[in-house]
Structure 1
C-alpha cells in the first residue's frame, strides 16, 4: 500500500509536466506515425493543378503475387499487412503498378515522415543554393549561426552537416528521454537547444548518423531565407510545383515563432511522398521545369568516401546498389528510387515488422 502514493505522485508529476520534454516523452510513449496530431505545425497547401500518375488494371500490372521471405512463400498482400505496413506503392514509368493500404489506413491517411524529412531538407538546401540564399556548401555554419563560434564549431561547414560528419556531440537514442533526439523531438525550444551544441571530434573525420546535424541544417536554412519560414519555402519550391494531391504540414517545436523539425516530421500522404522520389528520378526536373539543379541531385546521390564519408550516405540520402537511393524514416518509412528502371517504391508502416526493408526493396526493384 505504501507504493501507491509514490506511483500516484509520479503520475501527477508526469501529467503536470506533459508540456515539457520528459513529460511529453513519458506521456506519449515513444514515436508513432500519428504524432502529427500532438505537435503544432505549419500547413502545406496543394495547388489547383494536381499531378496524377497513370494507372493500370491490377491484373495487367507486373506486381508480385507471392513473396519468398525467410524460407517461406506467402501472399504479397498478407506479407505487407502482417509486417505492419500501412501503405505500399510501386510506380514504374509514371504508372502506378501497385497501390494498397493496410491496417486501417487508406489513400487519404496522413502519415508522419520521420527522417524522410531529412532528404526533403537536403532538397531545400539545394534550392537555396540555386536561389543564392546560400553561397556554397563549403561555407562555415557560423556564417548563419554566429552564436556557435563561442562553442568551438567555427570549422563546421554546411557540407559537414549534409554528410553527417560535423563531429558535433549528439546522443541519437530514441529511447532515452534525456538524450538529444528526445530534446529535438519533444522539446519546445529548438533554437535554444541548438545553441548548446559542442564538438566531440574534428569535423570531416568520421561519419556519424545525427539528427542534430540535420536540425542545425534547418536553422541554417531558416536564417538564409531571411523571414520566410521553411514550410513556406517548401510550399513555394516543391509542394505546389509538384502538383501534390493533398494538403500536408511540417511539425514545429512550438506554436509561436516555432522552428520546423527538419530532422523529421513532414506529415503527408503516400502518393505525395512518392513525388519527392519522382523529382529526383527526373534529376530535379518536373515536367519541363527545373525545380532543383540537376547537379545537386547528382551530387546528392553519388557516393563519396573522402574526408570521413561513407559510400552508403550522401547529402541526407541513403545510397544502395545499382545506383538506387532512398529517403528513410523511423519505424520503416521509405521513398525508394531505382533510376535505371524508372521505378519508385514507397513503403510506410507502423513499424518495421520483421523485415529488413532496404534489402527487400532493392530485391523487388532488381527483379522488376
Structure 2
C-alpha cells in the first residue's frame, strides 16, 4: 500500500473519530431518531423486581379481525394493518387481561424499545411523586426556586405548571432535522446542563401552548435539584419501577458516562409489557394493587382538560388528550404510545419504527369500543 493511500486512510480514521466525538458528528452519522438509538447512548440501569406483576392473558380477546379503510376495496386483517404501518409491538389490555399481544419485524416480548417522548409523561409522574414527598411545594412555584442560575435568562416568572403545560414561552427549535437546533443538541449532545443553561424565552409564560422538549428537560433539572445526590433513575426505581413490579430490567439514557444527566424529555428503554404498567397505574388513579403510588389528585390534574393561561385542551401535564371523553396517552416521536381509556378500563401500547400512515388515536378509540371476552 502506498504512503499516499495510508495517509488518506489515516485522515479518514481521524475524521471519523472527530465526528463520533461531537454532537454534529453523531447527527450526521445517525441522522434521525431511530428505534435502536438506545444502543448509542450511555444509560443508567433500572432493575426488575423480584416479585413480578404479570397481566392475565387470553387468546380469545374480542378485537377487530379485519379493518376497512376508505382507500381499500377489501377489508384488511388487523395484523397486516399493524405490520404494514411499521409496528413492532401492540398490546390491548382490558380488565387487567391481555386481549391481544403481537410483535412484528423480528421483535418479541423481551425486546427493548425506546420510549422517546413517552418519557415526558414519566417525568411528569416523578414531579408528582416529588410533590407528594414534600420535595417540591407546588406547581405554581417559579422554577428559579430550584434552578436559580436561570434568573439571568429571565425565567423568574416561569412556573413548574408552565413547563408541564408547555406554555413557558421557551425559545426552542423542536426539529430533529436541524443539527444546530436545540432538540438535536439535547438528543445528541453530551452536556445537557450546559444546554439548559443557555435556554431563553421568546414570549411571556402563560400565553400560548407550544410543544418543546426543553420544557421537560427543565422539569428534569428541577427534579435533580431536589433529589440532591440521588439520580433521577434511582428515584424512578424507588417510586415506580420497583413498586410496579416490573418484569424486566430497563434503562434511562444519559448524556455522558461520567456524572451524566438523564434525558428526561425522552429515552427510557424498556419492554412493551412494562410500559403498559405505567398506563395501568394511571388507569387506577395512581393505585397499584391497594397501594397508592402517586396521589389520585395528581393523576386527575394531569389528565383533565384545561384551556386556561394559554393551555391547550389536547395537552395536560405532559400527557396528550386526543378527545374530551376522558382518554389520554403518552406519545413518542416514532409512534410510541401508552393509551389509557378509564371509561372502558383499557390500556393499549403501540411501539413502532415510525408512525406509518394511520391515525393511531382514532384506532385506539375504535378498539376501546370492543367488548372483552
* Interval containing the TM-score (normalised by the shorter chain): over 0.9
Give the secondary-structure state (helix, strand or coil) at the position aligned to 1:100.
Answer: strand
The CA deviation string for residues 99-156 of structure 1, in whole angstroms up to 9 with x for no partner, is: 0100110000000000000000000000000000101001110011100001111110
Q: TM-score, normalized by length of structure 1?
A: 0.95
- In structure 2, what is the Cα distance between the partners aligned to 1:201 and 1:277? 34
Where does residue 364 of structure 1 map in the other structure? 367
Alpha-carbon deviation of 1:14? 5.2
Alpha-carbon deviation of 1:13? 3.6
Where does residue 64 of structure 2 map in the other structure? 64
The CA deviation string for residues 80-112 of structure 1, in whole angstroms up to 9 with x for no partner, is: 111110000000000000001001100000000
Conserved in 2, the CA contact under 8 Å of 1:90 and 1:99?
yes
Alpha-carbon deviation of 1:63? 1.9
Gaps of at least 5 residues in structure 2 are: 1-6
- In structure 1, what is the Cα distance between the partners aligned to 2:330 and 2:304? 14
CA-based RMSD: 1.6
- In structure 2, what is the Cα distance between the partners aligned to 1:10 and 1:63? 54
User: Which residue among 57, 82, 104 is the counterpart of 1:55?
Assistant: 57
Where does residue 326 of structure 1 map in the other structure? 329
Give the secondary-structure state (helix, strand or coil) at the position aligned to 2:171.
Answer: coil
Where does residue 150 of structure 2 map in the other structure? 148
Where does residue 137 of structure 1 map in the other structure? 139
The CA deviation string for residues 230-269 of structure 1, in whole angstroms up to 9 with x for no partner, is: 0000000000100100000000000111110000000000
Q: How does 1:69-108 map to 2 (within 5 A)?
A: 69-72=69-72, 73-108=75-110
Give the secondary-structure state (helix, strand or coil) at the position aligned to 1:192.
Answer: helix
User: Which residue among 222, 227, 233 is the counterpart of 1:225?
Assistant: 227
Where does residue 3 of structure 2 map in the other structure? none
- In structure 2, what is the Cα distance between the partners aligned to 1:170 and 1:201? 11
Matched pairs, number = 361
- In structure 2, what is the Cα distance between the partners aligned to 1:360 and 1:342? 16
Q: How does 1:167-186 map to 2 (within 5 A)?
A: 167-186=169-188
User: Which residue among 15, 26, 29 is the counterpart of 1:27?
Assistant: 29
- In structure 1, what is the Cα distance between the partners aligned to 2:214 and 2:341? 29
Alpha-carbon deviation of 1:367? 4.2
Q: How does 1:1-368 map to 2 (within 5 A)?
A: 13=15, 15-56=17-58, 58=59, 60-72=60-72, 73-321=75-323, 322-368=325-371
Conserved in 1, the CA contact under 8 Å of 2:63 and 2:370?
no
Give the secondary-structure state (helix, strand or coil) at the position aligned to 1:86.
Answer: strand
- In structure 2, what is the Cα distance between the partners aligned to 1:313 and 1:305? 9
Give the secondary-structure state (helix, strand or coil) at the position aligned to 1:278.
Answer: helix
Alpha-carbon deviation of 1:55? 1.1
Gaps of at least 5 residues in structure 1 are: none
Conserved in 2, the CA contact under 8 Å of 1:66 and 1:74?
yes
The CA deviation string for residues 329-363 of structure 1, in whole angstroms up to 9 with x for no partner, is: 01100000010010000000001111121222122
- In structure 2, what is the Cα distance between the partners aligned to 1:327 and 1:249? 18
Alpha-carbon deviation of 1:17? 2.2
